[in-house]
Amino acid sequence: MRLERSKFRSERFRRVQVAGHNPQTGYSMLRIRGSLLVALSLTVVGGTSPLEAQVIPSPYDFIDTRQEFGIFAGHMESDRGRFSLGPDAGVAYGARYSIKLGGGPLAFEAIGFGLPTTRHIVDPREDEADQVLQDVDSFVLGADVRLRFSLTGPRTWRNFSPYGSVGLGAAIDARSVDVEDLPIEAELDFRFGPAFMGVGAAGVRWLPFERIGLRGETSLHFWRLGTPRGFAGLEDELGPIPEQEWVASPMFTLALTYRL
């Protein structure tokens, strides 16, 4: 009896395998189908695929444009020099242009500015408290070219791009005064420029939009003030008198820029 039952079970198992219904294979297929259904449900509920969930947004964005124009305004301090002959402080304004050099962090810049201000008319023969006789109008024009280095390269970090720059240029007082209208002799009159100018600057560009941006900058302008030739004979009263002296004038500006 037992032998007949074993033969029956073996014959039944063989028929199932022949028909393609392997019990172990069917069980494995059920497990695979169940796993796929669970994954599909999670995808529908979550709304994103596993690959999309692994994307991490970068705080860096590439700057696709190469050229930039801007207009700026700000305040310029002034070092008048030892004898208070130089231009005074005032509100400066101007324009700037820049173009990227290659695909790296460097850019070429050209800047021009105007500074409407005043300067002293000084008579060094008077007592120190009375040496400034009057003020006259002055209009300083300056222009320079610079090499700019971006700390974030050709990209922005959260829309910001800090930088530093150095350059060379010249400045001059474009407003002349008739010596005959002054209460001093011509050899005592001071004339500013043309003066060689060196510039060092640091700032940050903010580029929240595709074309429009803002730029804040602090720059330091170095130029020379010449001593009028009439001062040369007053060394006994004034001490050693240099023919020229270097002074530094800081400028703080805010610019509106447009990129091409």
Return the C-alpha torsion angle 6, 9, 11, 16, nearest 10. Answer: -160
Structure tokens at 256: 């509106």
Q: Is the dihedral of CA 110, 116, 117, 123 positive or negative?
A: positive
Q: Higher-confidence residue: 96 or 20?
A: 96
Domain ranges of the chain: 2-53, 61-259
pTM across the whole model: 0.75
User: Is residue 197 a contact partner of residue 219, using CB atoms and an 8 Å limit?
Assistant: no
What backbone phi and psi angles, to 5 degrees, belong to 112?
-135, 140
C-alpha span between 86 and 224 (Å, rounded): 9
Task: Output the pLDDT for position 55.
Answer: 72
Per-residue confidence at 67, pLDDT binned at 50, 70, 90?
very high
How do residues 114-151 score in pLDDT, each as one tens digit?
Answer: 999 999 999 888 888 888 988 999 999 999 999 999 99
Average pLDDT over residues 237-260: 92
Across the range 243-259, mean pLDDT stands at 95
pLDDT digits (tens, 9 = 90+) for 21-64: 555 555 555 565 655 555 555 554 455 555 555 678 889 899 98
Task: Using the structure block, give the residue that is written with the tokens 């995808």.
Answer: 43
- Indicate the average pLDDT of the chain: 84
Task: Indicate if the pLDDT at residue 7 is higher than 80.
Answer: no
- The fold for domain 61-259 equals Porin (2.40.160)
